[in-house]
Structure 1
Amino acid sequence: MEKASPQNNFHYNPKLRLLANQLRKSMTKSEACMWKYVLGSRQMKGFQFRRQRSVLNYIADFMCKELLLIIEVDGITHDDTDAVKRDMERDRQLGLVGFTTLRFSSWEVLNQMGEVSRIIVDWIDHQKGFPPPGSPASTGTCP
């Protein structure tokens, strides 16, 4: 399968549009917090994230086309062995077309929002070639 790009609309699946709209209107508390405090309104380093975006045969909780990044907020239903296997296969399929998936538990989002945000920022900085926080290049100090 070809890599996700503007030419193939990042593998948008119009058959899932209605379900995605329903999910957007009934976000979980952790998804709503992630959207309001971290990803919405280009708060994450100016990048635009979309909520409940259909990709291939899946609906991603949050997706940034420019970064080819999907962020999933997993509730307790993702804890059993079958769900973990499904999530791994989903991440594999999305990876085949160029997406990276970052997963966070609902608990992490609700109780460690700063750490969740820092992990996403660090991932973006690494992808965009920025020096990692605390490195001599980012602090202007010599080792």
Structure 2
Amino acid sequence: MQRLIPYRRDLKERARELRKNMTLAELTLWDKIRRKATGAEFHRQVPLLDYIVDFYCHEIGLAIELDGVIHDNQVMQDGLRQGRLEEKGVHFLRFTNEEVFKNIDAVLIAIEDSVQECL
């Protein structure tokens, strides 16, 4: 079942820019989850409501966010954003950039487990 969540149209161009300029952590994870490698089809930099999530699977409503050091100072904003999206039925996984770099296997297992739970 595809979950369609409305988004601000002006975010489309920003999402396109973010896809062209992904962080090293995003590129590393994308290389491992693209082409249904986890059992679900994820898309990069997806606008949802007033936000852009790093990776999103429309079919199961699962978002993956990678948090760099900038997120250390915006815990409250991230929580509000996540709460608004969860109200729309979005499930979230959050990983730090460090987790992606140092323990990608554990990150992939967590993603695969969540995909199975959401199916």
Higher relative contact order (CA closer than 8 Å, sequence separation 6+): 2
**In the alignment, what sits opposite 1:43?**
37
Q: 1:41 is paired with a residue of what secondary structure? A: coil
Structure-2 separation of matches of 1:84 and 1:104: 13
Structure-2 separation of matches of 1:64 and 1:12: 15
Match of 1:17 among 6, 9, 12: 12
TM-score using structure 1 length: 0.78
TM-score using structure 2 length: 0.93
Asked if residue 109 in structure 1 is aligned to residue 104 in structure 2, the reply is no
The one-letter code matched in structure 2 to 1:44 is T
Q: Which runs of 5+ in 1 are unaligned?
A: 129-143
CA RMSD of aligned residues (A): 1.3
**In the alignment, what sits opposite 1:66?**
59
For residue 125 of structure 1, report the CA deviation from its aligned partner: 2.0
**In the alignment, what sits opposite 1:135?**
none
Percent identity between the two aligned chains: 34
For residue 10 of structure 1, report the CA deviation from its aligned partner: 2.4
Structure-2 separation of matches of 1:64 and 1:13: 18
Q: 1:43 is paired with a residue of what secondary structure? A: coil
Q: Which runs of 5+ in 2 are unaligned?
A: none
Could you tell me whether the CA contact under 8 Å between 2:67 and 2:94 is conserved in 1? yes
Change (3 A) 1:106 1:52: same
* Aligned residue pair count: 118
Asked if residue 123 in structure 1 is aligned to residue 114 in structure 2, the reply is yes
